[in-house]
Amino acid sequence: MPDDPRRRTPRTDAVLADPAVAGAAERLGRARVKSVVVAVLDDVRSGSVDPSDAAAEVLSRLPAAATSLRPVVNATGVVVHTNLGRAPLSAAAVAAVRLAAGPTDVEMDLGTGRRGPRGTGALGALAAAVPDAGGVHVVNNGAAALSLVACALAQGREVVIARGELVEIGDGFRIPELLESMGVRLREVGTTNRVRLADYEAAVGPATAFVLKVHPSNFRVEGFTSSVPVSELTGLGLPVVVDIGSGLLAPHPRLPDEPDAASVLREGASLVTASGDKLLGGPQCGLLLGEAALVESLRRHPFARALRVDKLTLAALEATLTGPPSPVAAALATRPEDLMGRARRIAEELGGVAVASEGRVGGGGAPGVPLASAAVALSPDLAKALRLGDPSVVGHVHDGRLLLDLLTVPAELDDVLVEAVRRAAT
C-alpha cells in the first residue's frame, strides 16, 4: 500500500514549536496562531498541503499585525479620505504614538512626583499655533466639541442658527439632532439660501444661550445667497460659537474660502470648534479655542470627562503641531508639475498613461475646490486586485480607466505602487 501522506501530518504542538511560528505567536497571540495551525493541518490531512510545508503555510496565512486593519496606499486623490481614516499621521506623530504607548508622564509632574495637569504639551502646542485663542481644550472628535459647548452653555435654552447651516455631517448624523440630544432648543432663522442680521436680531431673546454658525460641509450653496459674517453677529451681545469643521488653523493660499480658526477668532468669535484629523493633519480629536473663561468652564464641566482624549491622541496632536509638515500639508503644497513627472516615470514602467487629474480635500473641507494633480491611468480590471493586494492600493475608476492619483501617494511609495500593480497584473 503506498505511503499515505496523512500519516506524516505533524502534531499541532510540533508546528507551534517551529521557531518562526513560535515567533508569530509571541507577536500575534497564541490563540490566533493555533487556530491557523489547526486549519492548515486539516488541509494537510485532505492532501491540499504537503506535510513538509505546514509551517510555511501557517506563516503565509497569518496577518502582519494583531489587528484586522490593513495598510492602504491612498491613490484616490482625496487628501482627507474618511473611509481610509482621514488624515494620515506624520512620521513624527507616529513616533510620538509609539512612545506614548508605554507608561508616560501624561498626568504626572516628575519633578515633584505628584499628579500634574493632563496634556500640557499638546495644549501648549495648540495655544502656540493659534495665539488669538485665550484658551484651548481638546476632546475626542469634532462632534464632541460642539456637543460639549451645547451641553455646558445651552442645556434647556435656545441656540440661534441659520436654516442653511443645519447640515448633515456624515453617516446620517445631523447638526440639529446632535444639538437637540444635548437638551438644546433650536431657533432657526432665515431661509435655506439667505439670512440677514435682522433675522438674528428678531430671534434673540432671554432664553438665547448663544448664536451658532456652522460651516457647510461637503456642499456649496451658490447663486442667490447671503449670510451674516461673525463680525456682525458679535454685536448681538451674546457668545458667538463657530464650528469651522475642517480644522484649518490659519489661512491657506490654496484654500482661500475655507474658514480658519485664527481668522474667525479675530473676527470676534467667542468659541471655535473644529476637527483635528482633517486639514490640521493630526489624530481624531475635537478642538475648542476661544475666550479663556468660556474654555475653562467647558474643561471643568462634568460632561467633559466623558469626552476626554487618551495619551496617544495627545502625543500625536503635539507632534503634528510642533513637528514637520503633515502628509496633508505636504499634499496641499505639492506642485502639479512634480506630480506629472512622477506619473510619467511610473506609467513608463507599467505601460500605463500619465494624465492630468483633479484631487479633492475631502472630509468636508473645501467642498467643490479642485486640486490640480496627475495620475497613472491603467485598465479598470486591475482595481479589485489592487484593493485586495498587500498592501492594498485604492484608486478610482473614471471614464473607463483606473486612475492612481499621485496627489495622495507620497513619493517614497512610488516603488511600492509599481510593485503592487505588477503583482495585481499577474
Q: pLDDT-based confidence at 218, cuts 50/70/90?
A: low
Same domain membership, residue 243 and residue 307: yes
Residue 342: its pLDDT value, please? 98
Using DSSP's 3-state secondary structure scheme, residue 289 falls into strand
| Whole-number percent of the chain with pLDDT over 70 | 98
Q: Pull the grid cell for residue 263.
A: 481668522
> Is-contact 329 281, C-beta < 8 A?
yes
1, part of any domain: no
Q: Distance from CA of residue 68 to its chain's centroid?
A: 18
pLDDT at 220 over 50: yes
Per-residue burial over 286-318, b = 16 or more CB atoms within 10 Å of its CB, e = otherwise: bbbbbbeebbeebbebebbeebebebbbbbbbb
Using DSSP's 3-state secondary structure scheme, residue 22 falls into helix
66, part of any domain: no
For 102-130, what is the mean pLDDT? Answer: 96
Q: What is the residue-wise DSSP string for 123-141?
A: HHHHHHH-TT-SEEEEESS
Same domain membership, residue 153 and residue 186: yes
For 246-262, what is the mean pLDDT? Answer: 93
Give 376-417 pLDDT, tens digit per residue: 999 999 999 999 999 999 999 999 999 999 999 999 999 999
Same domain membership, residue 354 and residue 312: no
Q: What is the CATH number of the domain that holds 353?
A: 3.90.1150.180
> Is-contact 132 119, C-beta < 8 A?
no
pLDDT at 196 over 50: yes
Q: pLDDT-based confidence at 3, cuts 50/70/90?
A: low
370, part of any domain: yes
Residue 365: its pLDDT value, please? 82
Same domain membership, residue 396 and residue 257: no
4, part of any domain: no
Helices vs. strands in the chain: H and E counts, helices first = 18, 17
Same domain membership, residue 280 and residue 348: no
| Whole-number percent of the chain with pLDDT over 90 | 89
Q: What is the residue-wise DSSP string for 323-390?
A: SSPPHHHHHHH--HHHHHHHHHHHHHHHT-EEEEEEEB-BTTBSTT--EEEEEEEE-GGGHHHHHTSS
Same domain membership, residue 311 and residue 216: yes
138, part of any domain: yes
Q: What is the residue-wise DSSP string for 140-154?
A: SSHHHHHHHHHHHHH
Residue 2: its pLDDT value, please? 57
Residue 216: its pLDDT value, please? 81
Same domain membership, residue 333 and residue 319: no
Q: How many domains does the structure of the chain reveal?
A: 3
Same domain membership, residue 161 and residue 233: yes
Q: What is the CATH number of the domain that holds 182?
A: 3.40.640.10
Same domain membership, residue 367 and residue 401: yes
Domain final residue pick, 323, 339, 373:
323
Residue 278: its pLDDT value, please? 95
262, part of any domain: yes
Q: What share of the chain is helix, strand, coil (3-state, %, to 5)?
A: 45, 20, 35
Domain final residue pick, 277, 293, 323:
323
CA-nearest of 72, 136, 125 to 320 is 125
> Range with the lowest mean pLDDT among 63-72, 123-132, 160-169, 360-369?
360-369
> Is-contact 149 241, C-beta < 8 A?
yes
Using DSSP's 3-state secondary structure scheme, residue 78 falls into strand
For 158-164, what is the mean pLDDT? Answer: 96
> Is-contact 133 271, C-beta < 8 A?
no
Alpha-carbon gap, residue 203 to 244, rounded angstroms = 23
Same domain membership, residue 201 and residue 114: yes
120, part of any domain: yes
178, 300, 411 from 166: Cα distances, Å: 10, 28, 40
pLDDT at 254 over 60: yes
67, part of any domain: no
pLDDT at 221 over 80: no
Domain final residue pick, 293, 323, 353:
323
Domain residues for the domain of 47 are 9-61
> Is-contact 357 405, C-beta < 8 A?
yes
Same domain membership, residue 238 and residue 315: yes
pLDDT at 43 over 80: yes
Cβ within 8 Å of residue 290, ≥6 positions away: 133, 134, 135, 265, 269, 270, 271, 272
Residue 134: its pLDDT value, please? 97
Mean pLDDT of the chain: 94
pLDDT at 1 over 50: no
Same domain membership, residue 342 and residue 364: yes
